[in-house]
């Protein structure tokens, strides 16, 4: 995307050296060529006016005019009346050289039709007016002193509000003192795992299948990874015990990606395991607010606050773009997590923290949740009906909570073929195979069933019907 800087004169960091042998005019030309070649100035971007650059460098305007003319002659820049001098089209930046073996960010699916992508809430339902109000209110009340760096823990008021929210809505027993504000779940996870490694935890069990990248995040924190199988009741605690791990990362309210809810018996087994091995359960409480058939299942943290570090964020309830999350930790991990955070960043934007506190404490957040919960329920029901109509032999599970479900393909249908042909037909969807975690031990693993993850939070009921209709045709089609 071209950056236009319309209406302002762009600044450009260039320097000339008066003691050098090279004449000043040539220095200016060369500095501009280098900036363009290196991608500091990109195609379509505007150069400063000749007067501004001359003032900045302390040289005559005529000298800069000649340098621009020279670059024009060489094809580096173009100029048009009214829009100044710009970098010419097609002048590339050196390609990004991602080291082999490095984790690449996921490539966005090349489709623009219907996107069943996992994990996106209804972005059109974002409570813009309430958020603007909360930001304005927070800004008006913000003491000037709070414009400096905040504390590493995060805004005191938000921490108290979050702990209260967790007790009230998630049946937890968080306390403000053990609450740390972070820039979303993933950032919090990085800090928590770093702190666990620093306290001597060597291995972590991850649910398999499980969310992409958590295996890599764990390794970067210095942990080894065991893949622990799950069944419809959640993680298999005997396998976790056999792995030798002393930490486990779980999505108890709605297993990601299968949607299984951790059963009461498993919850107790897990807590018992944690006590036996002096272990810790890291709870990813990511979409628990959306439970349709009954009251949300309480946070595991409420059952064993001394053994559970719970994390949450507003990425599923409001919007991922806000990047606000939290960690509720037992006292013994608190300093370690704070150290990780202190060494990585100066914190979460203060104004957003204050605004979120206002949104929650005035009831606007709850009101938003009630509204979107109803519309997610409708979408979920539409999904179930559409699957019934268009996908004979398929079954859909994980519907109790959240805004995604798992579509098990009929026997004999190849997952990769369906994903590829769906993409060609304008439907973006991911297969369960994308959620196989990589492990550091050799434990044999059963193959995963052929299944698709169906995110329905950010789609209209019409899109869900249409998309499932197309998927039905793709599934029924013969392999090409």
Give the binding site for ligand PLP (CB under 6 A).
Answer: 119, 184-186, 211, 251, 256, 284, 286, 313, 315, 320, 325
Q: How far is CA 59 from CA 17, 35, 50, 67, 85, in A?
A: 11, 19, 10, 12, 19
Query: To the nearest whole angstrom, how small is the minimum distance from the Cβ of residue 287 to ligand PLP?
Result: 8
Closest to ligand PLP by CB, 358 vs 403, is 403
Closest to ligand PLP by CB, 36 vs 227, is 227
Closest to ligand PLP by CB, 32 vs 163, is 163
Closest to ligand PLP by CB, 87 vs 182, is 182
Closest to ligand PLP by CB, 48 vs 402, is 402
Closest to ligand PLP by CB, 47 vs 406, is 406
Distance CA 132, CA 352 (A): 11
Query: To the nearest whole angstrom, how small is the minimum distance from the Cβ of residue 173 to ligand PLP?
Result: 21
Distance CA 384, CA 398 (A): 11
Closest to ligand PLP by CB, 256 vs 418, is 256
Closest to ligand PLP by CB, 314 vs 387, is 314
Distance CA 401, CA 310 (A): 18
Residues 6 or more apart whose Cβ sits within 8 Å of residue 262: 233, 234, 235, 250, 252, 253, 255, 270, 297, 300
Closest to ligand PLP by CB, 252 vs 305, is 252
Closest to ligand PLP by CB, 452 vs 474, is 452
Going along 139-232, which residue ranges are E strands? 179-182, 203-208, 224-231
The partner residues of 283 in beta bridges, in order of sequence, read 250, 310
CA atoms within 13 A on the CB side of 404: 28
C-alpha closest to that of 251 among 197, 212, 294: 212
User: Is residue 91 exposed (0-12), middle (13-18) or buried (19+ Cβ within 10 Å)?
Assistant: middle
Give me the DSSP letters along 252-280.
TTS-TTT-PPPPHHHHHHHHHHHHHTT-E
Residue 328 sits at φ, ψ, to 5 deg, of -110, 115
Closest to ligand PLP by CB, 313 vs 353, is 313
Angle between helix axes 461-476 and 415-424 (nearest 10 degrees) is: 120
Angle between helix axes 61-74 and 50-57 (nearest 10 degrees) is: 120
Query: To the nearest whole angstrom, how small is the minimum distance from the Cβ of residue 68 to ligand PLP?
Result: 45
Query: To the nearest whole angstrom, how small is the minimum distance from the Cβ of residue 320 to ligand PLP?
Result: 5
Helix or strand or coil: residue 422? Answer: helix
Query: To the nearest whole angstrom, how small is the minimum distance from the Cβ of residue 452 to ligand PLP?
Result: 16
The partner residues of 404 in beta bridges, in order of sequence, read 455
Give me the DSSP letters along 30-83.
HHHHHHHHTTSS-TTPBPPPHHHHHHHHTS-HHHHHHHHHHHHHHTSEEEETTT
Q: How far is CA 8 from the centre of its chain?
A: 33
What letter does residue 472 receive in the DSSP assignment? H
Closest to ligand PLP by CB, 311 vs 383, is 311
Q: For CA atoms 448, 390, 287, 431, give the dihedral sign.
A: positive
Angle between helix axes 128-141 and 350-361 (nearest 10 degrees) is: 110
Query: To the nearest whole angstrom, how small is the minimum distance from the Cβ of residue 435 to ligand PLP?
Result: 10
Q: Using alpha carbons only, give the angle 222, 227, 230 rounded to the nearest 5 degrees.
A: 140
């Amino acid at each position: 995307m071209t950056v236009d800087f319309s209406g302002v004169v762009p600044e450009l960091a260039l320097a000339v050296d008066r003691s050098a042998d090279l004449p000043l005019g040539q220095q200016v030309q060369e500095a501009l060529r280098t900036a363009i070649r290196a991608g500091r100035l990109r195609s379509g971007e505007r150069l400063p006016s000749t007067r501004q650059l001359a003032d900045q460098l302390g040289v005559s305007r005529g000298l800069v005019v000649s340098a621009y003319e020279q670059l024009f002659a060489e094809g580096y820049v173009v100029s048009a009346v009214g829009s100044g001098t710009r970098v010419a089209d097609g002048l590339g930046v050196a390609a990004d050289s991602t080291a082999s073996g490095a984790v690449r960010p996921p490539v966005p699916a090349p489709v623009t039709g219907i996107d069943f992508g996992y994990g996106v809430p209804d972005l059109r339902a974002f409570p813009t007016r309430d958020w603007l109000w909360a930001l304005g209110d927070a800004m008006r009340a913000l003491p000037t002193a709070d414009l400096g760096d905040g504390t590493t823990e995060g805004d005191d008021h938000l921490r108290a509000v979050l702990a209260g929210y967790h007790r009230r809505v998630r049946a937890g027993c968080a306390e403000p003192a053990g609450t740390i504000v972070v820039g979303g779940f993933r950032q919090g996870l990085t800090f928590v795992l770093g702190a666990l490694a620093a306290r001597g935890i060597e291995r972590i069990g991850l649910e398999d299948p499980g969310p992409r990248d958590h295996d890599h995040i764990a390794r970067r924190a210095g942990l080894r990874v065991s893949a622990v199988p799950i069944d419809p009741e959640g993680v298999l605690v005997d396998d976790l015990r056999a792995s030798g791990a002393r930490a486990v990362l779980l999505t108890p309210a709605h297993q990601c990606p299968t949607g299984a809810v951790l059963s009461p018996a498993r919850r107790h087994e897990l807590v018992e395991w944690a006590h036996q091995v002096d272990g810790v359960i890291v709870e990813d409480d990511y979409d628990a607010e959306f439970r349709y058939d009954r009251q949300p299942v309480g946070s595991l943290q409420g059952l064993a606050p001394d053994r559970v570090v719970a994390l949450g964020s507003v990425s599923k309830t409001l919007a991922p773009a806000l990047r606000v999350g939290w960690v509720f930790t037992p006292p013994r991990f608190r300093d370690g997590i704070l150290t990780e955070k202190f060494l990585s960043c100066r914190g979460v934007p203060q104004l957003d923290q204050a605004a979120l506190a206002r949104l929650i404490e005035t009831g606007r957040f709850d009101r938003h949740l009630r509204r979107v919960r109803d519309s997610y329920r409708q979408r979920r029901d539409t999904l179930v009906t559409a699957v019934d109509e268009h996908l004979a032999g398929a079954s859909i599970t994980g519907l109790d909570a959240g805004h995604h479900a798992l579509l098990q393909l009929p026997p004999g249908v190849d997952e990769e073929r369906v994903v590829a042909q769906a993409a060609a037909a304008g439907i973006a969807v991911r297969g369960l195979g994308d959620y196989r975690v990589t492990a550091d031990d050799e434990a044999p693993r059963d193959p995963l069933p052929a299944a698709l993850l169906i995110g329905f939070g950010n789609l209209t009921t019409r899109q869900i019907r249409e998309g499932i209709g197309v998927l039905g045709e793709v599934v029924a089609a013969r392999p090409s």
